């Protein structure tokens, strides 16, 4: 038995004249997601991508990898048949049976790009439908709203048979690399990996930056962030994670600025360092996992004060989401279990007892003037190290 993998993609189809460009990026990302030597060919035909696995390749693993590539709506294993009606009916019917176990109704759809094939499309549907009914007595045909569709495609050299029920859904969205580059502020928490995922899903290429404050934050806390970055990289492909030592800066803020302003001044400095990194990497925006009202530093007043520290856009894809909604995405993408490991974050080591929730920018700037803000920002930037993260 020979199988190929058939991939349908989503929004790219709407791209009109630009479609080819988006398809090229999608194909590049698919090649990157697959193991080298696992496929012989990847080609696009009429908005469908066909991947021919190499002999002996682990097709389940390929399907799993492809189902994480942004832009892809569904991934299906497909039986490749000799172009003879009797072979298609017998082998095809056998092939789709497992997928039909959990269905009550089905219909057959046939597509024939080879018009010389011995059966017409309606004949293929009728005969395949009958063969399936005979082999699966629990099924009924429903042409209006079937539980699944069995598809038979007669191509130039061979025929394909598969059932929609056996498809695995992809994440949808736009292919990573089609939507600009941005720097994700990645903590060890639940929110920021989800924020990175959501922006990458819209085609954004990520760099990431993590601030840590040894000895107040541990080596294990840093490792946890690298683990989270690796999970993200399964979807986005390889990216750079910048690691910023932030102890001196945090201590300077703690020792010199009014307590109720500590968090906001620290967040302004984080943004300022991240902006420098973004500019160095030609990234055009920052991304955070902030959500309106979640904590004192995420009220609208506080976010406005944070924004003032930089002059590039800050994207906050979680801004209107509840924690429960964020958690359900974190579970789906596989970051949740790592995020809830109990390690400290530099944002939580020096927290004021009564942080301001309605800060005025003027007052914060006054407090910030008590430290050499620019100098400390530059120092953190200069001491930043870098790791390459792979999924």
User: What residues line the site for ligand ATP (CB under 6 A)?
Assistant: 185-187, 189-192, 209-211, 288-290, 294-295, 297, 345-347
φ, ψ dihedrals at 367, nearest 5°: -65, -40
Q: Residue 302: name its binding partner from Mg ion, ligand ATP, none (Cβ under 5 to 8 Å by kind).
A: none
| CB atoms inside a 10 Å sphere around CB 237 | 21
Interface residues for Mg ion in 319-348 (CB under 5 A)? Answer: 345
Q: Using the rule CB under 5 A, which residue among 187, 217, 306, 368 binds Mg ion?
A: 187
153 near Mg ion, judged by CB under 5 A: no
- Say which entry of ligand ATP, Mg ion, none residue 26 contacts (CB below 5 to 8 A, set by partner kind): none
Task: Report in angstroms the alpha-carbon separations of 268 from 209, 261, 344, 380.
Answer: 15, 11, 20, 13
User: Does 250 engage in binding with Mg ion (CB under 5 A)?
Assistant: no
297 binding partner (options Mg ion, ligand ATP, none; Cβ < 5 to 8 Å by kind)? ligand ATP
| Residue 171 binding target from Mg ion, ligand ATP, none, CB below 5 to 8 Å by type | none
Q: Report the residue number, 315 or 343, with the smaller CB distance to Mg ion.
A: 343
> 274: Cβ–Cβ under 8 A, 6 or more apart, which residues?
183, 185, 209, 286, 310
* Residue 295 interacting partner from Mg ion, ligand ATP, none (CB closer than 5 to 8 Å by kind): ligand ATP
Residue closer to ligand ATP (CB basis): 12 or 182: 182
State how far the alpha carbon of 185 is from the alpha carbons of 189, 274, 275, in Å.
11, 7, 10
Q: Considering the complex, state which of residue 164 and residue 345 has its C-beta at the smaller distance from Mg ion.
A: 345
- Shortest distance (Å) from residue 349 CB to Mg ion: 11
| Contact partner, 384, from ligand ATP, Mg ion, none, Cβ < 5-8 Å per class | none
Under rule CB under 5 A, residue 297 binds Mg ion: no
Q: What are phi and psi of 293, to 5 degrees?
A: 80, 0
The label of the residue with tokens 């509840």 reads 322
Bridge partner residues of 163 (DSSP): 150
Taking the complex as a whole, how short is the minimal distance between the CB of residue 244 and ligand ATP, in angstroms?
Answer: 8
With CB atoms as reference, the residue minimizing the distance to ligand ATP is 189
346 binds, among Mg ion, ligand ATP, none (CB under 5 to 8 A by kind): ligand ATP
Q: Angle between the 361-368 and 300-307 helix axes, to the nearest 10 degrees?
A: 50
User: CA-to-CA distance for 129 and 151, rounded, in angstroms?
Assistant: 11
CA separation for the pair 153, 109 (Å, rounded):
8
Rounded to 10 deg, the angle between the 373-382 and 247-256 helix axes is: 160
Taking CB under 5 A as the criterion, the residue among 171, 189, 193, 196 binding Mg ion is 189
Q: How many CB atoms lie within 10 A of CB 129?
A: 18
- Shorter beta-carbon distance to Mg ion: residue 23 or 191: 191
Q: Is 217 in the site for Mg ion (CB under 5 A)?
A: no
For the CB of residue 373, give the shortest distance to ligand ATP in the complex, in Å.
18
Would you say 197 and 334 are in contact if contact means Cβ atoms under 8 Å apart? no
**54/58 Cα distance (integer angstroms):** 9
Summarize as ranges the residues that interact with Mg ion (CB under 5 A): 187, 189, 345
């Amino acid at each position: 038995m020979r199988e190929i993998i058939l991939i349908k993609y989503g929004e790219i189809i709407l791209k009109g004249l630009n479609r080819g460009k988006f398809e090229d990026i999608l194909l590049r990302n698919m090649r990157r997601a697959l193991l080298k030597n696992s496929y012989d060919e990847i080609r696009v035909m009429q908005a469908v991508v066909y991947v021919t696995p190499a002999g002996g390749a682990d097709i389940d693993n390929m399907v799993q990898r492809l189902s994480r590539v942004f832009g892809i709506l569904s991934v299906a294993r497909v039986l490749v048949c000799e172009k003879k009606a009797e072979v298609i009916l017998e082998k095809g019917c056998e092939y789709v049976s497992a997928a039909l176990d959990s269905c009550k109704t089905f219909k057959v759809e046939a597509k024939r790009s080879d018009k010389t094939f011995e059966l017409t499309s309606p004949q293929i549907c009728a005969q395949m439908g009958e063969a399936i009914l005979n082999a699966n007595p629990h099924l009924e045909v429903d042409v209006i709203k079937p539980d699944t569709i069995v598809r038979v495609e007669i191509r130039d050299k061979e025929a394909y048979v598969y059932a929609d029920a056996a498809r695995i859904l992809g994440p949808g969205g736009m292919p990573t690399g089609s939507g600009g580059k941005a720097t994700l502020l990645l903590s060890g928490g639940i929110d920021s990996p989800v924020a990175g995922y959501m922006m990458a899903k819209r085609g954004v290429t990520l760099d990431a930056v993590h601030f840590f404050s040894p000895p107040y934050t541990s080596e294990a806390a840093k490792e946890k962030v690298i683990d989270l970055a690796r999970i993200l990289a399964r979807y986005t492909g390889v990216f750079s994670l910048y690691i910023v030592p932030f102890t001196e800066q945090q201590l300077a803020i703690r020792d010199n600025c009014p307590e109720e302003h500590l968090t906001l001044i620290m967040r302004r400095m984080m943004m300022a360092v991240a902006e420098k990194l973004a500019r160095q990497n030609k990234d055009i925006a920052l991304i955070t996992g902030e959500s309106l009202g979640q904590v004192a530093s995420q009220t609208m007043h506080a976010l406005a004060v944070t924004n003032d520290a930089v002059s590039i856009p800050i994207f906050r894809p979680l801004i209107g989401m509840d924690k429960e909604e964020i958690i359900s995405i974190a579970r789906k993408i596989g970051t949740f279990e790592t995020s809830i490991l109990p390690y400290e974050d530099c944002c939580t080591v020096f927290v004021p007892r009564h942080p301001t929730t309605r800060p005025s920018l003027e007052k914060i700037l006054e407090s910030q003037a008590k430290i050499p803000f620019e100098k400390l920002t530059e120092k953190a930037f200069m001491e930043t190290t870098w790791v390459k993260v792979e999924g």
